[in-house]
Chain A
Amino acid sequence: MIKIDFHMHTVATPSDSHFEFDMERLKEYVRFAKLDAIAITNHNIFDLEQFIDIKNALDISVFPAIEIDLETGHLLLIADKENVADFSEKCSLVSAIITSATDSISVKTLKEIFPDLGQYMLIPHYDKSPPLSKAAIGELSEFIVAGEVSSPKKFIYCIKNEDRLTPVYFSDSRMSDNLTRFPVRQTYLGCDDTNFSSIKYCLSDKAKVSLSATESNKLFTVFDDGQQLSTGLNVVLGERSTGKSYTLNKINNESEGVKYIKQFSLVERDEAEDKRKFDKLLSDKRSLLTGEYLDELQAVVSDIIEVDLKEDGKSISDYIDSLVKFAKETERHDSFSKAKLFSEEEFQLDDQTGLKDLIKSTKNLILNKEFKSIVEKYVSIDSLKKLVINLMETYAVKERERLKRRWINELIFDVKSKLEARTAATAIKEIDLYKVGMNLKKVEKFERIVAYARTERIIKEKPLQGFSVVAKSVNFKGAGELKNHCRRQIAFSDAFSEYNSPYAYLKKLQEIEELRKADLFEYFVKIEYKILNRDGFEVSGGERSEVNLLEEIQDAQKYDMLLIDEPESSFDNHFLKKEVNELIKELSKSMPVVLVTHNSTVGASIKPEYLLCTKKETTEAGIKYRIYSGFPASKELISTDLKKIDTFEVTMGCLEAGQDAYDERRMGYENLKNQE
């Protein structure tokens, strides 16, 4: 078994923040982490001189390498030690192209620079930012030996999934004197040799890579003192003030992608505050549900916003008044007003939306592959093709007609304006009765839609960790509710007086300058959200906290590791055993979970994969905090400095308050049972 780190930086490039390489620090790291082989992977550069220095300074295998900005991702390209001069020359071509942090090369260029890619080990950023694109990985697949990941969770995921690359986990650290903590991100390989071909061969087999030396992928290193954690479920035990929370904080600070649920963070201390938090949780879910339910209404409202019946009424009035006036003042008619074009109507212009939709639908029928056989059962594709051609021809004719009419309308307008300027007669105002009529229809339908949408009904019911979220459409009960929804100091009383006349109400809302037009649809229907417990009642304060905890644990799926500090301090045993344990156990199948507890319901019944026990020990040298760890079945837990304690005693002491107390409790329960 060898331990490697094939991703580290020793030269500050435009892609790095500035640092000074420190050879001594690198040597310490190699010694401390007990590395057998490293690769020097600077961004788009290979410093031959420095590489030779490093190689001479270390007594392990050092491979020449480069980290290349390839398209939108990064690629590690590692060479054999034997070809270093040739490699250096090729890398200088990369350096000549990539001169700034935003430059990159294409796969094609990479292949031109390194025509013999098979001689190298190619390791792309895989489950790590910035990842190499799927397309680029596909193009280079025959040369790629492994994919770099950024956490043990992602490492395990790759191991478990056949279609994923062999994962590798490297430090990606800058070897400078600022490196205060040694990285714990390395990969073990199941081979004894550190030569290039052995390593390359090993990487081709997932079974030969692991996160720990002895326990394959069950464990990974979390602290630079060698402390390990399980890649599954870890339980941290310990008496008060022995460093349990300190340990969690340290993991949180030294690891990436951690979700940390702190002690008491979810317990209800202030009902109003808790309710606010809970409502926020609901509102995050709400946007999804609201969006789904109100999207159609949103589209209608945005159309109706443009309708102005008042303006339409004024147009009718202007038209008829000017027409009657013009007709009655015959004595004022002159050669200008008597011209036919003076009182000529403009042509109605069709927008052809209906015909366009029909063409589109017919095309869909022709192109649809999934239901082709059903379509053909009733109508042949040939007929549809003829139909679409006919429709398109009709469209062309109508469009030509429309353009002609538009041109004539422009001409009429132009002539009328000139005649109007010269005559004493009243000009007849234009009106588009078709549009006025359509607007009336729009408003009529809009009012019907709002009435339908406001009808009280359950629009969605979704399970949520044993509870259920129910979304219901209801009416806003008053201006206050509108204000609450808006979350701003805006007066809605005037608008709300028209709430039952949707069009008039919309116009009132439009008058409120602070409201964005795009948001007005939200003020027509209130979506009420409730979380119901198993009995169908709205959740209590305690249950709210339970939902919060379960949601937080569920949310951890997005992270690389979950830390939970003493959930028993906020919740009862029944809930912890039934809901929390189950969820944590499930989650720990896909990511490391670290749970601090001294509650037997949580600690013992959850059956962890790994136990850690924190101890505060007073020695002659002073107080020493130690972590003892091991598998629950092992007789002893061992610290990184090889001290041992008895597993049974620790478990009893921490979870059951010691053997005596446990026996006493057990006896008590048995007596109670016998009395029945």
Chain B
Amino acid sequence: MKILKIKNSHGYFLCSKTSAWKQIDEIDKDGLMDLLNQYLNDDIEIEIDVFDEALIKNQAQRIIYKSVFEKFLSLIDNKSKFKDESERLYLDSIQKYKV
């Protein structure tokens, strides 16, 4: 599922609660946390449009999109590592106490 996209010279992010696309310069901490939670959701494979400064006209959007894009690109690159690490997390404890 796509969570960051570039369309009609604007950068957008997906608000999962409303399933609506919002312009990237409207993003706040809840919006970012929402994107992070979608990344953390194992059932969802997230996608993001590659940043291209020529495709975003608004300078503010360009800066914000670039930064958020780079953050998520790094997370996506590390998805398997994150998955491995989080699955291994406290595995012994869970096995010990699970009824």
Which A positions have Cβ atoms within 8 angstroms of B? 296-297, 299-300, 303, 313, 316-317, 319-321, 323-324, 326-328, 330, 343, 345, 347-348, 350, 353-354, 357, 428, 431, 433-434, 436-438, 440-442, 445-446, 448-449, 452-453, 455, 457
Contact = CB atoms under 8 A, between A and B. Distances in A.
B82 A445 contact: no
B60 A316 contact: no
Contact of A323 (B63, B75, B98): B63
B32 A452 contact: no
A437 B60 contact: no
Contacts of A317: 29
Interface centre among B33, B36, B39, B97, by most chain A C-beta atoms within 10 angstroms, is B97
Interface stretch (B1-9, B14-22, B87-95): B87-95
Q: Which 6 residue pairs are nearest across A and B when measured between Cβ atoms?
A: A452-B97, A327-B60, A327-B63, A296-B93, A317-B29, A441-B86
B82 A449 contact: no
Contacts of B70: 345
A594 to B, nearest CB: 47
Nearest to A303: B90
A343 B59 CA distance: 14
A327 B61 contact: yes
B85 interface: yes
Contacts of B25: 324, 327-328
Nearest to A459: B97
Contact of B94 (A434, A438, A442, A449): A449
Nearest to B64: A327
Interface of B: 25, 27-29, 31-33, 36-37, 39-40, 59-64, 66-68, 70-72, 74-75, 78, 81-82, 84-86, 88-90, 92-94, 96-99
A445 B63 contact: no
A440 B33 CA distance: 11
Contacts of A453: 97
Given A327-B59, A327-B63, A343-B67, A300 B90 contact: yes
Contacts of B93: 296-297, 299-300, 449
B48 to A, nearest CB: 13
Given A433-B36, A440-B40, A452-B97, A445 B90 contact: yes
A446 B90 contact: yes
A445 B71 contact: no
A330 B97 contact: no
Nearest to A318: B29
A296 B92 contact: yes
Contacts of B68: 323
Given A296-B97, A431-B71, A437-B75, A445 B89 contact: yes
Contact of B99 (A299, A445, A457): A457
Contacts of B66: 343
Given A324-B64, A440-B40, A442-B89, A434 B99 contact: no
B24 to A, nearest CB: 9
B71 A353 contact: no
Contacts of B97: 296-297, 449, 452-453, 455
B38 to A, nearest CB: 11
B71 A345 contact: yes
B61 A313 contact: no
Given A316-B33, A330-B59, A354-B88, 19 more contacts: A296-B96, A299-B93, A320-B29, A320-B31, A321-B28, A321-B29, A323-B63, A324-B28, A327-B59, A345-B70, A345-B71, A428-B67, A438-B82, A438-B89, A441-B89, A442-B89, A452-B94, A452-B98, A455-B97
Given A296-B92, A317-B29, A434-B75, A452 B99 contact: yes
Contacts of A299: 93
B99 A330 contact: no
A322 to B, nearest CB: 10
5 contacts: A300-B93, A317-B29, A431-B71, A433-B75, A434-B75
